[in-house]
Amino acid sequence: MNHFVKGLFVASVLFSGCQGVEPVKEEKQIRIPKEEKKEVKVDVPDFNGDSAYYYVQRQVDFGPRVPNTQEHDKCGEWIADKLAQFDFDTLIQRGKVRAFTGNVLHIQNIIGQYNKEAKLRIMFCAHWDTRPFADRDTKDKNRPIDGANDGASGVGVLLELARQVSLKNPEIGVDILFFDAEDYGAVQTSETMQDLSSMRDTWCLGSQYWCKNPPIPNYNPKYGILLDMVGAKDAIFPKDAVSRHYAGGLVNKLWSTAQNLGYGKYFVNQLAGPLTDDHTYINELTNIPVVDVIHYVPNGNYGDFGKFHHTHADNMDIVDKTTLDAVGQLMTYVVYTHL
């Protein structure tokens, strides 16, 4: 469902003079000043990339956040406490889902709402769990990964956004959702990042559960933005096909805004195919248009999420404060301008 107008058409109206019945001795030209367009200045807070980086580090310090582990539960408690500390009404949606392995996962979707009674709402989301195995690595494939970029980066940006919101009330509703069990999908046997339909529904278990078991009655934000793998140096965020299909107007507006703010090196005008991510299920199963900001490099028929993706190299060494700051400042701009 598209809430945005895709184009702006400016019509020029030409006025022609009309000759009167009585002659005019002297013609005076009266200049009517054009109505000046008043620019509304919006006071947008400065996003703190150092703070976002700290929140990424704190998550990694807990260890891999794999469902059914102590590390996972302790980190989830910390995330919920941070949202509450920033004056967000916090809810933990607990549930059980079955992984492709047959294991039953005890999941926690962590939800924070600011200005809970406001009708105009914007939803931001990320996943907070980590991959339980390093299936793209050449060693220690059965050990879980740190997930500094794949998981922690999106959470880090949104926690800093929550802090900014608590310091300066945006007067609209801001919802932050952290989905669980996004990264517990079936093992990929190919080096390509091909979206295999037979594997697709094994991913994003937390967001699927949220869509099918809505914890907030009649929830209807204006739109949503998903952040996934937004912390690597020189990250590239293309326009994926799912986002374009369900929220094309928002995609164009968000990328254009990013470029106007000076973040064009990240938010590139490249198209990517359909990517399976939490936004896929929200778009398909609800009426909420959601855009995915995700690191992905289109390359021929297939693309890649980075050489560190689903390997033990996804650690703090690849997290870049400048990238976090660019994504976070854009999200802050969205909140305070209502984009």
Instruction: Please give the pLDDT value at position 214.
Output: 98
Angle at 185 between CA 181 and CA 186, to 5 degrees: 155
Q: How far apart are CA 249 and CA 8, in angstroms?
A: 12
Q: How far apart are CA 114 and CA 175, in angstroms?
A: 6
pLDDT in tens, 214-271: 999 999 999 999 999 999 999 999 999 999 999 999 999 999 999 999 999 999 999 9
Sign, CA dihedral 297-303-308-310, equals positive
Residues of the chain with pLDDT under 70: 1-40, 188-198, 300-302
Other CB atoms closer than 10 Å to residue 183's CB: what's the count?
Answer: 26
Selecting from 3.20.20.10, 3.40.50.10860, 3.20.140.10, 3.40.630.10, what CATH number does the domain 49-187+197-337 have? 3.40.630.10
Instruction: Please give the pLDDT value at position 339.
Output: 85
Q: What is the pTM of this model?
A: 0.86
Instruction: Please give the pLDDT value at position 15.
Output: 31
